[in-house]
Amino acid sequence: MRGIGISKDKKATIFNAFNQAENASDNNLKGFGLGLTISKKLVELLGGKLTLDSKLNVGSTFTLKIPVKLSDKPIIKTKEIKKTTTAFNLTAVVVEDDASVRLLLNDFLKQFNIEVYTFENAQNAINAIDEISYDFVITDIQLPKMNGIHFMEILKNHKLYKNQPIIAMTGRANISREEYLKIGFAEVLIKPFNSNQLQDVLHRFFKSSSIPIKTKVVESTEKATVGFSIKSLQSFLGNDIASIKNTLQIFLEDTKKNSLTLIKAKEDTDIKTLNEISHKMLSMFKQLEVKAVIPYLEVFETTTTIDKAKFIDFEKQLNNFIKTLEEYLN
């Protein structure tokens, strides 16, 4: 099959036609407007001809003739490339008290054909573990009701435990990887970690296979973020904008609730709650690189007193971020 070609010289002169056409005139086209005059001029530049046959009370017929040259170059047919992705075909148990992080891990692992059971706390996971034939566990360390270390010890003494890897997640970098391994964990991920780090851990323990990627039309966007970054979410979720926005929406709702809890903790001088909620919030705020808020949460995470002036500044920065995120999602 061959295509129609127009010489470069003719293409270059077309742009000059609009300047010339305003002064052009033709008796055959008189009365039919500037548009036809411009059209006629362009046709002539291409070596063609535009004519008019008009009959009173009958109508008008416009005839356009343009000489063309058929290209000798064949049209190249591109072959469709079949893309593949990694599949582990496993079952995972994820324990994380932060709803947005929990959703992020759930969506990420499912991309690798991993069935995921998520729990907000370790006690709920233990209550359900008899019904789950799991291959590995990912658990946060600082959890409500029961911490990740105690949870790991209970799992290892459970009748269904068969040396499945139990992977720790923590936002505290003051304990080394070796110490976590000595305690009994198979591996540790320091928050915020990226998608490649998590994949590396999975590859260390399990064999994978390649499967065709299911064609999925995803919405693309160039919408800029202000005061935060979604690069990490894009890495985890494959630039799936719907999933990213869903995760951000959950994060926004969680942040508003946590904000109210922190305010009450300040009013009640409840240092323990202030520490716990700040620690919980830090993971996702670091994941999103919310630089205006992170320093305050890092202070509140370990503080033994409440600096009211600092807390007022924190509220201002947090409210500004919440407003910015709402505008981005809307």
pLDDT in tens, 2-14: 444 555 555 555 5
Residue 54's pLDDT is what?
81
Tens digits of residue pLDDT in 119-135: 999 999 999 999 999 99
Which pTM was predicted? 0.69
Tens digits of residue pLDDT in 260-307: 999 999 999 999 999 999 999 999 999 999 999 999 999 999 999 999
Q: Does 104 score more than 70 pLDDT?
A: yes
For residue 236, the one-letter residue type is: F
Residue 7's pLDDT is what?
56
Task: List all residues 6 or more positions away from 187 whose beta carbon is below 8 Å from its beta carbon.
Answer: 165, 167, 168, 177, 180, 181, 201, 204, 205
Residue 22's pLDDT is what?
46
Which part of the chain has CATH 1.20.120?
Answer: 242-329
Class level of CATH domain 242-329: mainly alpha
Helix (H) or strand (E) holding 241: helix 241-267
- Between 178 and 83, the more confident residue is 178
Average pLDDT over residues 42-55: 81
Q: Which of 16-30, 191-205, 303-317 has the lowest mean pLDDT?
A: 16-30
Q: Does 76 score more than 70 pLDDT?
A: no
Rounded alpha-carbon distances, angstroms, from residue 189 to 89, 186, 192, 194: 22, 11, 8, 9
Q: Does 118 score more than 80 pLDDT?
A: yes
Which part of the chain has CATH 3.40.50.2300?
Answer: 84-214
Q: In this structure, which topology does domain 84-214 adopt according to CATH?
A: Rossmann fold (3.40.50)
Cis peptide before 192 (omega within 30 of 0): yes
Left (φ > 0), alpha (ψ -120 to 50) or beta: where does 314 sit? Answer: alpha
